[in-house]
Chains A and B, each alone.
Chain A
Amino acid sequence: MSLLTVRRLSKRFGGIAANREISFEVAAGELVGIIGPNGAGKSTLFECISGFYAPDAGEVELEGTRLTGLSPDLVCRRGIARTFQKLRPFQGMTVAENVMVGALTRTRDVRHAREQAHEWLRRVGLLEKANAYARTLSTGQRKRLELARALATGPRLLLLDEVTGGVDQRSIPALVELVRELHAGGLTLLLIEHNMRVVTAVAQRIIALHLGEVIADGAPSAVARSPKVVEAYLGQAYVA
């Protein structure tokens, strides 16, 4: 059985169909990239999966358990965690406290949560900043904080929304390496990325969206060469 099943997911906003009958499955342990030009519906897809939007039609299932339309906190407790494209650290709390909020979803004990938080911070390379206030972090560090915080909730599936967005070129490889390590540790990941170099380097499989529909689903090399994808991004002139 696949870990995540998205079946004929549809979502409209007024006259615009942001997601049209999107269907795909993700097996446990996969690392799948979601790409598509602006307005393709990638963010809407994430919002529907994570419970911030309720889809108009279609189903989202995690190992057979129906998640469609559940509230975000319920989705998280069932095993799907996410990061946000526009970083949202808890500014008035320290780095460790931020991660503790995630850990407290899995454990009732505050001390235990603090230990777990420190462990996750060590994994993402932020341990030295544990007692600093979240608002003092650089963008790259905030990205790691969001990661640690989401991971602390102990998810089966992690949705990463533009994890390299706004990060300077020099810091990207280290961040990508971190994502790879997490994946190697057994985590299933779904990534939205605009940076094609990052996606093609790290994903085993890419799903391409355009105007709300899936136009390609397969290995990165195949998807990048798919005529539909080339046309969606660049225009007919570039097709072969």
Chain B
Amino acid sequence: MNPQLSVAALDVAYGEFQVLWEAGLEVAAGEIVAVLGPNGAGKSTLVNTISGLLRPRAGSIRFEGQRIDGLPAHRRAGIGIAHVLERRRLFPFLTVHDNVLLGAHNARARPQREATLARLEALLPLLRTRRSQLAHTLSGGEQQMVAIARGLMAQPKLLMIDEPFLGLAPRMVEEIGVLVRRIRDEQGISILFIEQNVELSLKLADRGVVLESGRTVLSGPSAELLRSAEVKRIFLGEFAG
């Protein structure tokens, strides 16, 4: 079975500071995968390398069979990978409409962007009701939805989200969770996301990958990882239950 995304033996460093050591993961088409791990484990670094914001020192990234680690970041958007950044990172002084449209910048998605937008407005009514509102005036949850919509405008096959639930109220967390499920169920888009909240993530995802100190130490179906003693040990050390 050929995975849609295949990352292997990645070494990534910031100058002298090595953060990832032979890290790897796989995402099958249509899967929801959660990337977990203690702080400083390298989760964001891994996703940033997949989307091209960082260059690996060694290792490979394959998307739909093709190696993409040589491709600059703005090209990766064009081949079907979209990245929603940590803390949303909307353009604060642009409207919701402009923010979202910018998501379809890449050459493949641009001709169809009005159609894509219409489809997304059906999925997320607030894109229509708040279309002229400046992004920085939205609540955290609303911003997260707009950021995800912006990612979807690129017509991705794989959507990567860095900490979708960060700083959100419980009700919003639920709504975003439902949205993520719908995106996969209705459009078949695979989703890779990073989260701090282990339980929440594993209830949403099909599979989980656990990083520790820059290495992939555990991976498997969510059901297995949920309540797993091994996960406890990774987060809480040898003494954990």
A139-B18, A235-B200, A238-B232 known; A225-B239 Cβ under 8 A: yes
> Are B235 and A199 in contact (CB-based, < 8 A)?
no
Set of chain A residues within 8 Å of B241, measured between Cβ atoms: 224-225, 230, 240
Give A137 to B236 CA distance when docked, in angstroms: 32
CB–CB A238/B239 < 8 A: no
Min distance, Cβ B21 to any Cβ of chain A, angstroms: 6
Determine whether B237 belongs to the interface, using a CB cutoff of 8 Å to chain A. yes
List, in ascending order, chain B residues with CB within 8 A of A38's CB: 39, 196
- The 8 A CB mask of A205-240 against B (1 = contact, 0 = none) is 000000000000000110111000110011111101
Query: Which residues of chain A are within 8 angstroms of B215 by Cβ–Cβ distance?
Result: 169
Alpha-carbon distance between A196 and B18 when the two chains are bound, in angstroms: 19
Min CB distance, A84 to chain B, in Å? 13
**A142 close to chain B: CB less than 8 A:** yes
- Size bracket of the A interface: 20 to 34
| One of B17, B19, B237 near A220 (C-beta < 8 A) | B237
Query: B198's closest neighbor in chain A, by CB?
Result: A234
Is A166 interfacial (CB 8 A cutoff)? Answer: yes
For the complex, give the distance between the alpha carbons of A169 and B227 in Å: 27
Q: Does A165 contact B (CB under 8 A)?
A: yes
Which residue of A is nearest B38, CB measured? A194
CB distance from A142 to the nearest CB of B (A): 7
Residue B172 lies at the interface, judged by CB distance under 8 Å to chain A: no
Interface residue B240 (Cβ < 8 Å from any Cβ of A)? yes
A interface footprint on B2-26 (CB within 8 Å = 1, 0 otherwise): 0000000000000011110100000
Chain B residue numbers with a CB within 8 Å of A137 are 16
**CB-based nearest A residue for B40:** A194
Query: Which chain A positions have C-beta within 8 A of B235?
Result: 196, 233-234
Task: Give the shortest distance, in Å, between A194 (CB) and chain B (any CB).
Answer: 5
- Bound-state CA distance A236–B203 (Å) is 12
User: Given A196-B235, A225-B239, are A142 and B199 neighbors across the interface (CB < 8 Å)?
Assistant: no
* A61 touches B (CB below 8 Å): no
When distances are taken between beta carbons in the complex, the residues of chain B under 8 Å from A128 are none
Q: Does A23 contact B (CB under 8 A)?
A: no
Determine whether the beta carbon of A199 is less than 8 Å from that of B18: no
Q: How far, in Å, is A209 (CB) from chain B's closest CB?
A: 12
- B100 to chain A: closest CB distance in Å? 28
Q: Is B158 an interface residue (CB 8 A)?
A: no
Whether a CB of chain A sits under 8 angstroms from the CB of B112 is no
Cross-chain contact B213 with A195 (CB below 8 angstroms): yes
Query: Across the interface, do B40 and A165 meet the contact criterion of CB distance under 8 Å?
Result: yes
Give Cα A225 to B238, complex, Å.
10
**Interface pair A197/B198, CB less than 8 Å apart:** no
Instruction: Determine the distance from Cα of A220 to Cα of B240 in the docked complex, in whole angstroms.
Output: 9
* Complex interface residues of chain B between 207 and 231 (CB less than 8 A to chain A): 213, 215, 226-227, 231
In chain B, what residue has the closest Cβ to A40?
Answer: B39
CB proximity to A under 8 Å, residues B119-169: none
The answer to whether A196 and B236 touch (CB under 8 A), given A168-B21, A235-B198, A240-B241, is yes
On whether the beta carbons of B236 and A224 are closer than 8 Å, the reply is yes
Write the residues of chain A forming the contact surface with B, with a CB cutoff of 8 angstroms.
Answer: 37-38, 87, 137-139, 142, 162, 165-166, 168-169, 194-197, 199-201, 220-221, 223-225, 229-230, 233-238, 240
The 7 A-B pairs with the shortest beta carbon distances in the complex, nearest first, are A235-B199, A196-B237, A200-B237, A224-B239, A221-B239, A234-B198, A166-B17
